[in-house]
Amino acid sequence: MSSKVTLLFLLLHLAWVLMFSRGFFPVKTRVPGQGTFSDLPSAPYSTSSGAAAPSGRDPLGYIPPYDQVVFVLVDALRSDFVYGEGSGFHSVRQYLSQGYGEAFVAVARAPTVTLPRLKALVSGTVPAFLDAILNVLEDDDDEKKAGKGNNEQGDGKDAWPSILHLSKNWKIEMYGDDTWMRLLPPHTFTRVEGTTSFFVADTVEVDRNVTRHVPSALNRKGEWDALILHYLGLDHIGHSGGRHSPLMQPKQEEMDAVIDRLFRGLSPPENHPIEGSSPQGPLIILCGDHGMTDAGNHGGSSEAESSTSMLFLHPAWRRPEAKKNEDRFHWSLQNSWSPRNIRQVDLVPTLSLLLGAPIPRNNLGTLIPSTISSLPGKMYNGQGKEKGEASCLWHQGRQFHALFLEAHGIPEGEQRELSEMAANALESKAMEYRVDRMVLALVLGILLWLLLSRKSLPSSQIPHMSMSVLIAAILALQVASVFASSFVEEEHQTWYFWLQSYWMYLLVRPRPGMRRAGLVGQMVLLRLIRTWNQTGQKWAHLPDIRQFLTRPEHEALLWILVLSTLIIMLLRAYRVWGSLGHGRVCFFPRLWLVVTRAATLSILLIQLDPPNLTHSLVARVPYKASTAWCTSDLLFLLLFKPHQLPLIAFFHAQRHLLPSSVGLVSEESILFLFLAHSSFFALGGSNSIASVDLSTAYTGLSSFSAPMVALLTFLSNWSGPLWWALAWIPRRPGFVERRLQDRMILRIMVGLHLALALAVLVLREHLFIWTVFSPKWLYTMAWLAYFLVMYLIWWVRDVWVDKMGAGIEDVD
């Protein structure tokens, strides 16, 4: 099979995987249009479903308690940042203790990344998984296709800011993350200035650019009705330094000062709040969109990522009953504190009611009871248009409503239970898979795999019986493991285990010329590598070398390790590039040559200026795989965090200690897969979205460019496997065997992806489908991209070697 045929198979593989993904990531069903007052039941004019309420007016004659709102979103504001011990939010906690507000822990759904959380916070919806991850904004394409008409309106219009603007003609100002501007229709805001969330390293300017608008907004406080501030600095601190970064506490204090300033600015003159049972005046909301893990990442569904702070502060009104409790609260200010849990989407109907606006039609949140004191408000309800269970609940809700109007009240618990049931029923209905597409794609995948397996290996390539059994057992177990969510979460364990078992096997049954010391060395190395970064879910919190090295007191050790790695890289580059036929050149000129080439090449690679790059490669560096491999070291040098660098030295050691040839194609292929996968997990990778490391995604970029950020993210997160793809080149066998090897790797890969696809199809109603299997499928697609790159690198080199003949053997 020529590489062209393999390429064709690879593309076919890509095709069915994409087709399966289209079926698996559901299209969200949403009610078209936007919430209006006419959505409300027709009461109190009539308890039957008769005449509609006059449009544009609140039919309940309800007077909303608040007439102005400041919505402060602090990105990644985990619940304990406000409520936990050592919080920097001193004045916020003070105000709460004095009865000026109420606090909740708002639980966000996975994926805990900004865009879907923001959608949840403005429209109360559950966004589709894929569009959330890819930050794709929804338009109503599907609705347009279905010809339902009446819909230039996407999610953006069915959100509380747009509804306030349209139904109550509110003037809204927004400063902060420009996602808001992409999410909501442009005319929603009377004044707006966006900041970009893409420079993760900036933790200062990004927030200054928001805060500088606060004084002027307070001076003009009669000119706006809603003020939205979205701060990104705290999230950026998390991404670059984790939860325990020294910048974290000062940032919390900075955010606290902003709230304090807003609170004082909006307090009534002479600071005399009204004490009474019903709230009034302006409302300040402080909330986070998602939390973060202690390492500072987010995306998954762990408690740390999904618990966010949500506070309602009202400077003009003081809850009277809090007064007598003040001392007790004061005492608790020093300690951690655990407010009641609500769902994040519950903000949407609650806020709509507090401001007297219609609730977004697609909202799935329910009312937070304690925030509303006057009863008529409690009887609002979102309008369900689903059939079946949800529809029943909706009608039941209407009956309760009628009952309430006749008898003045139904028990609050019952009403709450009902709306929660309705919300859950709607939520599960909101997503639907296209099973037909998934099945068709799976069938195509199986056909492809059968085609690939058509030719059996030549007899000279069939390994020893015991080895065949070992390989078959490993593959069978790997296939079986994708059906168990815990195994998917802890996938690294299996790869480490297989690789270690393989070395063990060779130790027990050594081949001629194979050194036992080398095998023992491999086992020790793997043990060290796997302890470098704890990953997965269950044991990710256990101490690891990364944590040890990043402690301030171990800085010297980290430096020694990093410098040793640099020396190893340099020696390696020196050996390879120094041997490129310059004869007997003195040491220092040669070293100089190596360093300048390395620097030029890595800068070029970072800038990725293709014409320059090709020119430089053609002019200066002979085409040798080992050259590319050394250059990749230098690229990774720029893309790695310091504590990860020593792993490159370990990879070199692993590579150096590899038995010169383990023999047959199948064994070589599987060894390559072991090494590539274990290196991915060793660098901290996992199957959770939270472990995608964004900290180096902006290296060398002076302005944001989505393709470059995606490329750099891919390069840094898959750097381990990419390193092995390059390091494997000198090991590639002769012409015939390497074709067999390429096909073998492809076969194993297609087999594993098929198994996962089947698991996803079978387990699509499983509890963990969104938190475990969907991320795993996204990772699988990224791995597919990796394999495409790997084959391309290998084939480019093959073509070159075949052209030039044996003259350019690589330095190993």
Q: What residues make contact with Zn ion under the rule CB under 5 A? A: 75, 114, 289
Q: Identify the residue whose tokens are 């040793």.
A: 564
Q: Of 638, 654, 632, give the one whose Cα is nearest residue 528.
A: 654
When CB distances to Zn ion are compared, the closest residue is 114
Smallest distance, Å, CB 179 to Zn ion? 9
Q: 115 or 353, CB closer to Zn ion?
A: 115
Smallest distance, Å, CB 35 to Zn ion? 25
Smallest distance, Å, CB 180 to Zn ion? 12
Q: Identify the residue whose tokens are 């606290």.
A: 256
Smallest distance, Å, CB 127 to Zn ion? 14
Q: Are 93 and 263 in contact (CB under 8 A)?
A: no
Smallest distance, Å, CB 696 to Zn ion? 19
Q: Are 355 and 169 in contact (CB under 8 A)?
A: no
Return phi, psi of residue 293, to 5°: -80, 170
Smallest distance, Å, CB 117 to Zn ion? 6
b/e per residue, 127-138, with b = 16+ CB within 10 A?
A: bbbbbbbeeeeb
Two structure tokens written together for 391:
């529809």
Q: 132 or 676, CB closer to Zn ion?
A: 132
Taking every pair of Cα atoms in the chain, the longest distance, rounded to a whole number of angstroms, is 102
Q: Are 271 and 100 in contact (CB under 8 A)?
A: no
List, in order, residues 6 or more apart from 208 with CB less than 8 Å away.
none
Smallest distance, Å, CB 183 to Zn ion? 13
Q: 273 or 296, CB closer to Zn ion?
A: 296
Return phi, psi of residue 74, to 5°: -100, 115
Smallest distance, Å, CB 76 to Zn ion? 5
Q: 65 or 176, CB closer to Zn ion?
A: 176
Smallest distance, Å, CB 116 to Zn ion? 10
List, in order, residues 6 or more apart from 404 with CB less than 8 Å away.
379, 410
Smallest distance, Å, CB 192 to Zn ion? 19
- Using alpha carbons, list the distances in angstroms from residue 692 to 635, 681, 777, 788: 19, 11, 14, 20
Q: 289 or 633, CB closer to Zn ion?
A: 289
Two structure tokens written together for 739:
């074709």
Q: 114 or 666, CB closer to Zn ion?
A: 114
Smallest distance, Å, CB 290 to Zn ion? 5
Q: For the residues of 449-510, what is the DSSP string, one character each? A: HHHHTSSPPPGGGPPPHHHHHHHHHHHHHHHHHTTSHHHHHTHHHHHHHHHHHHHHHHHHSP
Smallest distance, Å, CB 295 to Zn ion? 15
Distance CA 565, CA 5 (A): 40
Smallest distance, Å, CB 122 to Zn ion? 14
Distance CA 299, CA 771 (A): 9
Q: 289 or 491, CB closer to Zn ion?
A: 289
**For residue 679, how many other CB atoms are within 10 A of its CB?**
25
In three state form, how does the secondary structure of 180-243 look?
A: HHHHCCHHHEEEEEEECCCCCCCCCHHHHHHHCCHHHHHHCCCCCCEEEEEECHHHHHHHHHCC
Smallest distance, Å, CB 73 to Zn ion? 8
Q: 295 or 357, CB closer to Zn ion?
A: 295
Give rounded-to-5 percent helix, strand, coil for the chain. 60, 10, 35
Q: 21 or 209, CB closer to Zn ion?
A: 209
Two structure tokens written together for 806:
């044996």
Which element (helix H / strand E) includes 287? strand 281-287
Beta-strand relationship, 189-195 and 307-313: unpaired
Smallest distance, Å, CB 197 to Zn ion? 8
Distance CA 490, CA 497 (A): 12
Q: 291 or 384, CB closer to Zn ion?
A: 291
Q: Are 88 and 77 in contact (CB under 8 A)?
A: no
* C-alpha angle 387-393-394 in degrees, rounded to nearest 5: 75
Q: 204 or 567, CB closer to Zn ion?
A: 204
Q: 114 or 188, CB closer to Zn ion?
A: 114
Q: 114 or 537, CB closer to Zn ion?
A: 114
Q: 238 or 349, CB closer to Zn ion?
A: 238
Smallest distance, Å, CB 256 to Zn ion? 19
Q: 75 or 386, CB closer to Zn ion?
A: 75
Distance CA 801, CA 804 (A): 5
| Count of H-run helices and E-run strands, the chain | 33, 12
Q: Of 182, 162, 105, 179, give the one whose Cα is nearest residue 359.
A: 162
Q: 102 or 289, CB closer to Zn ion?
A: 289
Which element (helix H / strand E) includes 102? strand 101-107
Distance CA 663, CA 661 (A): 5
